[in-house]
A and B are shown apart, each in its own frame.
Chain A
Amino acid sequence: MDEEKNNQDHLGQRRNSNIVEGKIFQIIGTVVDIEFKEDELPEIHEALEILDKPIGSGRIVLEVQSHLSPGRVRAVSLKPTDGLWRGGRVKRLNQSISVPVGQPVLGRVFNLLGEPIDQKENLADSVATASIFKSGPSLTRLSAKVEIMETGIKVVDLLTPVVKGGKVGLFGGAGVGKTVLLMELIHNVAYKYQGTSIFAGVGERTREGNELILEMTAAGVMKNTAMIFGQMNEVPGARYRTPLSALTMAEHFRDAENKDVLFFMDNVFRFVQAGSEVSALLGRMPSSVGYQPTLASEMGYLQERIASTETGSITSIQAIYVPADDITDPAPATTFVHLDSTIVLSREVAELGIYPAVDPLASSSTALDQKIIGQRHYQVAKSVQQIMQKYQDLKDIIAILGMEELSEEDKLTVYRARKIQKYLSQPFFVAEAYTGRAGTEVRLEETISEFEKLVNGDYDRIDEDDFYMKGVLTKDN
């Protein structure tokens, strides 16, 4: 196609359908620079669609990220840019990326553009859509009530109680069981509450999403669930926007339908990582550890929107990968501050074969407060932490001098701590296939009384190994 003719076509088409078009003048990976007429410059975050694309590829949508020089914009592609060419035509969509919202999305699986990817029929055109960009609820609308949500997982309920309408983060390095714990929480919470759930799969394995769909369908909760995936096979731009698309659907249920929504996200780190990739491609100067300079504001924008109002709530459970087991890495460190409950999974605990490998000392929750969980629960949780802290302090001495040199109280502390550590393990429903043990769910009341007995010494005579992978000790015996 010669350029003269192309230009004519381009102009002609524009006049006829009133569609504003531009031309690609540079492609760097998934970043595409496009030239428009100076007075037709698209806004930041406006969506663009490629018109000249290889045969057979689906819609290619771009999002404007910055203005370069008059008439020129830099946009990030949300689809692979293979096969695009300089001079290819791009049209303005005159709106930002929008996703369908409301009841019709339940039971369906989408990509970040709101296109169904579950091979079922397309959504009707009448389905309402909403822009994925939106500010968080205003301060005055935020809900101030704190209520505990039982999860049936001992270590979570005892040490890091989950707040209804709050944010829970599961931190962990590679292979310590973040996804399994998240799945178990979905199993226990989503199945029990039977409310609306939104699942955002960001940059993780496609296989895991598939398993989750099958499992939720089998459990009959898929009809209340919408899933949005931008997994690791997608381009960075897609992974970067998937959380927002999912969140937009959740917000609609909260604001328009006044519902209590469960929002699951796996994995927040991939969102940061995608942001970092995009940032580098956009030519921003990398900040500490090579992350994008806008890390904190990107995270803040996402997390501030996950909030609960007086009329509806979003309870979010997020998995956060910790690179190289270093929790001080900017990505997890930036996420920390936004959370109500922090569940830290530790490799040391996982190496002992204790699952969920929750580190009882590094994990915390704002709900661990006498006024919220009550005097008894608070006391038991604090004693457990104290014993574990003492054990941690004594570990070096034990490693050097051996148990013999410890005083009698210290020895007792060590024995109890080892029992507590073992007792914090629990067989999971979702891991039945791997552990060969039936999953258990423990009521909060039972959890508290069991650990109260342990710290008070009622279980001093029971062998340490008997506590391993048990739901409730006395019931099992």
Chain B
Amino acid sequence: MKQTSSRSLKRKIKSLASFQKMTRSISLTAAVKLRRVQMKMLKARFLGYELLLFLKELLKRNNNLPNHYLFNQAAAGRADLAKKILVIVIASDRGLAGSFDLNIFRQAESIIADLDKSQFDLGLIGRKAKNHFKKRGFEPIFAFEHFENVITKSDITELIEFLKRALIKNIYSRVAVIYNNFYSVLKQKVEVVDLYPFSFETFDRQLENIIPRQGMFSDQTKVKPAVGRFEYLIEPSPEKVLPTVLELAFSYLIYLIILEANSAEQAARLITMQRAFENASEMMFETKLVYNKLRQGQITRELLEIISGSSQLINDLV
């Protein structure tokens, strides 16, 4: 039994009104940001698509490729158990995006659940990820913030340099990135991508992930059937071209993944805040109803008391 006073109801209505204002403005901002980052991301997909397609075909056609650190494990074919796994978790800075972060964390925890602490390193992107894993006693190997919205390549140089150094030193057997892939405004899905070792499967999966199935550009990118079965002829030589291409592809994929995650984040925020706005409106409606009922009840009661009181007085006088 709730003790409702008109004052507390008024206060609730007021706070709900500011809640509505807040959620509405967050969702509007998210919509604007989504449009910007989505455009950028969709465009970035073109280059990513071509790069992935090229690498996929290259792996399929050419047998004698030169050794490169990004290819090392692919050549070996299986992960080295003695070495660590690097798990990169991409979450948001601010939250307020529904289950966006939660799904990421759940996926990340299911991956590291079976592993001993010495068997993996945790790389975190986003303040929420940092807070979440610090609270659980994990010490991340790196934790970046401010990777939100439209990012440029210079923003992530530090991250890419770190990864390159680590991979050249050959301390990781696997680099797994967990992020939310953008499918549409209404759908984001947690994906786990093995950025290292570079393998046929990675390329194939990422190709699937970045092809828009609906909406903008969905008609322009289709997996083109590979034409011919001949080896690519690389000029001047594979040794000279391949490292550049591989490193470009590597950093570009990271860039693209972050853009995907950011688009997904804004979309999730947009939807979550819209829903929150609706919930707040509904609650507002109900609270107002209770308030009005209470107010009207009080008025009626007072009228009744005045009338019965005065009629009693009149009776006494007569």
A and B pair up: yes
Residues of B within 8 A of A286 (CB): 305, 308-309, 312
The answer to the question of B279 belonging to the interface, with a C-beta cut-off of 8 Å to chain A, is yes
Whether, in the assembled complex, B301 has its beta carbon less than 8 Å from a beta carbon of chain A, the answer is yes
Chain B hits for A345, CB < 8 A: 1
Complex Cα distance, B132 from A405, in Å, reads: 13
A residues near B304, Cβ cutoff 8 Å: 290
Q: How far is the CB of A349 from chain B (nearest CB, A)?
A: 9
List A contacts of B261 (CB < 8 A).
none
Quick check: B96 and A289 within 8 Å, CB to CB?
A: no
Interface of B is mostly: helix
Number of interface residues of B (CB under 8 A): 27
**In the complex with contacts A285-B308, A289-B301, A405-B96, A400-B3 CB distance below 8 A:** no
The minimal Cβ–Cβ distance linking B309 to chain A, given in whole angstroms, is 6
Instruction: Please tell me if the beta carbons of A399 and B305 are within 8 angstroms of each other in the complex.
Output: no
Chain A residue at smallest Cβ distance from B275: A402
B102 within 8 A of A: yes
Chain A residues whose CB sits within 8 angstroms of the CB of B276 once the complex forms: 400-402
Q: CA A416 – CA B294 in complex, angstroms?
A: 34
Instruction: Give the Cβ gap from B98 to chain A, nearest Cβ, in Å.
Output: 5
B135 partner, pick from A172, A327, A408, beta carbons under 8 A? A408
Q: Which residue of A lies closest to B20 (CB)?
A: A400
Indicate whether B2 reaches chain A with its CB closer than 8 angstroms. yes
Contacts A399-B283, A400-B283, A401-B272; is A347 near B305 (CB within 8 Å)?
Answer: no
Contacts of B292 in A (CB 8 A): none
Asked if A328 and B3 sit within 8 Å, CB to CB, the answer is yes
* Residues in A neighbouring B5, C-beta threshold 8 A: 328
Given A285-B309, A400-B279, verify A347-B99 contact (CB < 8 Å): no
Minimum CB–CB distance from A285 to chain B (whole Å) comes to 4
Please tell me if A325 contacts chain B, counting CB pairs below 8 Å.
Answer: yes
How many Å lie between the Cα of A172 and that of B5 in the bound state? 18
Give Cα distance in the complex from A1 to B211, angstroms: 108
Q: Per-residue 0/1 for B275-302: is the Cβ within 8 Å of any A Cβ (1 yes, 0 no)? A: 1100110010000000000000000010
Tell whether A402 pairs with B272 under 8 Å between CB atoms, given A289-B301, A344-B1, A362-B1.
Answer: yes
Contacts of B279 in A (CB 8 A): 399-401
Indicate with 1 or 0, residue by residue over B115-146, a CB within 8 angstroms of chain A CB atoms: 00000000000000000100100000000000
A338 to chain B, nearest CB (A): 19
A404 at the interface (CB under 8 A from B): yes
Can you add 19 more A-B contacts, CB < 8 Å, to A173-B1, A290-B305?
A171-B1, A285-B308, A286-B309, A288-B305, A327-B3, A328-B5, A346-B1, A347-B1, A348-B1, A359-B1, A400-B23, A400-B283, A402-B99, A402-B272, A402-B275, A404-B101, A405-B95, A405-B96, A408-B132
Give the 8 A-B residue pairs with the shortest CB-CB distance, closest first: A285-B312, A346-B1, A400-B279, A404-B99, A400-B276, A400-B280, A401-B276, A404-B102
A–B pairs, 19, beta carbons within 8 Å: A173-B1, A285-B309, A285-B312, A286-B309, A289-B305, A290-B304, A326-B1, A328-B5, A345-B1, A347-B1, A348-B1, A362-B1, A399-B283, A400-B19, A400-B280, A404-B101, A404-B102, A405-B96, A405-B98
